[in-house]
Amino acid sequence: METGDDAGPAVVETGDDDAGPAVPKTGDAGRAASLDPARAGVGRTWIRNPLAILAAEGLDARGGVVVEGDRITEVLGAGEQPAAPCETVLDAAEHVVLPGLINTHHHFYQTLTRAWTPVVSAELFPWLVNLYPVWAQLTPRDLELATTAAMAELLLSGCTTAADHHYLFPGGLEDAIDIQVDAARRLGMRAVLTRGSMTLGTDDGGLPPQDVVQDLDTIFADSRRLVELYHERGPGAQVQIALAPCSPFSVTREAMRDSAVLAEELDVRLHTHLAETLDEEQFCLDRFGLRTVDYLESVGWLSSRAWLAHGIHFDDGEIARLGAAGVGIAHCPTSNMRLASGTCRAVELEDAGAAVGLGVDGSASNDGSNLILEARQALYLQRLRYGADVPPERALRWATAGSARALGRDDLGEIAVGRQADLALFRLDDLRFSGSHDLLAALLLCGADRADRVMVAGRWRVVGGQVEGLDLPALVADHSAAARGLLSRAGV
């Protein structure tokens, strides 16, 4: 029996013998009624007997999972039944079930400058120098559309939590993060929105043009405001705020150091780009007289509060120090290949103790926001470095549990009792999967690119490969028009 308007049609069974009475006679009904209104009507859902499932290590989940409210309350072994009746049963006999994927690094606004001719074949520094003047023209409406487009694209790829690094606040776009919070709430996706910053313009030897940098007082006042207004704490948090100076070549030493102090005071996380290219390493040597990790340590960032985008150019000693400190790394393989930046030593970083997660990176350097395809890229890029015995499951765990750890979330990233009910379900009935045998491996090896169903906090946000409540053709039309308008305003 369907109890919610979002339960979906064909796969929900009624009056199933295994499920017990369709309407529970216990206190469950009363309990459902007392849930947060946003979760009301969800009740208990049994996602039964999946074709394959990636559960927490060592757990038999062949019987599926029971979701109640926003959490996983039971993980069932083969042949096991739920301990109490479930109002909704979803037969997952044609689904491979993963924990919701978690993206640890993005720049949503860059969906407006995908595959832009002048930078299609450029490396990082010239790529940035060409793009900064275009991005400086960004309007609130542009950012709203770009954020919605990027998050919808991520959702459709099985992603349930997305971190974004937004560091552009031109005149009129002072409320950039507020706009992103609204978009995340509308889509019902989890978001870690980082209040980015750039303080080192070309006048002072930095890379960004002077008109896109801000002063520290403005940055920190806005950071405080955002944390007080939006940052949720504890299990199940939907929106979180972190502090994110852009990179060593776009902020001053003072901005890095004071951001770390403020993050400690506000108890929020820290994010930046680090060791992406050799140009950056040379910049740090020239300007600070330090390699990147020494610089990071000198400004108080060598801690598990921080997660770093890319993390490519580290030597053995630096990997050991990052691992011992439990620093997070957002491995972004497509971007790193696209800009020819290098290969992150992800396996060694994780083995050393670092929290390795995956990021699609901004859409001007990927140029897509597809996280299940990013896990495939990570698997293959890491195999080029370490050999063919890097298993697909390891790449899937980078995209889930590893990413959760990088974002400091112990309530996400695994299928286990007590974890948040964030799930991604993939069908394998497409031609590309025909003839495959190891079904979890097939997701990556055969190139799964779209989830059939995605659940966030116990609610279905994608059903039948479509984002619930989103007019996708209208979004594509508006977003494409905004992209053309942005280039036109920039005069390019």
- Residue placing its CB nearer to Zn ion in the complex, 55 or 128: 128
- Residue placing its CB nearer to Zn ion in the complex, 50 or 402: 402
3-state secondary structure of 20: coil
Stretch that binds Zn ion, among 17-25, 125-133, 306-314, 419-427 (CB under 5 A): 306-314
CB of residue 373 to Zn ion, shortest distance in Å: 18
Looking from the CA of 404 toward its CB, the CA atoms found within 13 Å total 23
Nearest residue to 311 via CA among 347, 279, 273: 273
- Residue placing its CB nearer to Zn ion in the complex, 102 or 309: 309
Residues 367-406, one symbol each (x = binds Zn ion by CB under 5 A, - = not), give ----------------------------------------
- Residue placing its CB nearer to Zn ion in the complex, 231 or 273: 273
Between CA 22 and CA 40 the distance in angstroms is 17
# residues contacting Zn ion (CB under 5 A): 2
337 CB burial (10 A radius; 0-12, 13-18, 19+): middle
- Residue placing its CB nearer to Zn ion in the complex, 72 or 360: 360
Kind and range of the H or E run holding 293: helix 292-298
Strands of 88-91's sheet, edge to edge? Answer: 12-13, 88-91, 44-48, 64-68, 71-76
Between CA 390 and CA 319 the distance in angstroms is 19
CB of residue 38 to Zn ion, shortest distance in Å: 31
Q: How many CB atoms lie within 10 A of CB 51?
A: 17
- Residue placing its CB nearer to Zn ion in the complex, 240 or 334: 334
CB of residue 310 to Zn ion, shortest distance in Å: 7
CB of residue 165 to Zn ion, shortest distance in Å: 6
CB of residue 168 to Zn ion, shortest distance in Å: 12
Stretch that binds Zn ion, among 114-122, 156-164, 251-259, 307-315 (CB under 5 A): 307-315
CB of residue 105 to Zn ion, shortest distance in Å: 6
CB of residue 441 to Zn ion, shortest distance in Å: 29
Which residues does 263 contact at the CB level (< 8 Å), separation at least 6?
242, 243, 269, 270, 305
Nearest residue to 71 via CA among 242, 236, 273: 236
The string of DSSP codes covering 51-111 is: SEE-PSTT---TTEEEEETTEEEEEE-TT---SS--SEEEE-TTEEEEEPEEE----GGGG
- Residue placing its CB nearer to Zn ion in the complex, 258 or 361: 361
CB of residue 246 to Zn ion, shortest distance in Å: 9
Residues 329-368, one symbol each (x = binds Zn ion by CB under 5 A, - = not), give --------------------------------x-------
- Residue placing its CB nearer to Zn ion in the complex, 398 or 460: 398
Nearest residue to 35 via CA among 25, 43, 46: 43
Between CA 369 and CA 374 the distance in angstroms is 8
Stretch that binds Zn ion, among 52-60, 175-183, 302-310, 481-489 (CB under 5 A): 302-310
* Chain residues that interact with Zn ion, rule: CB under 5 A: 309, 361
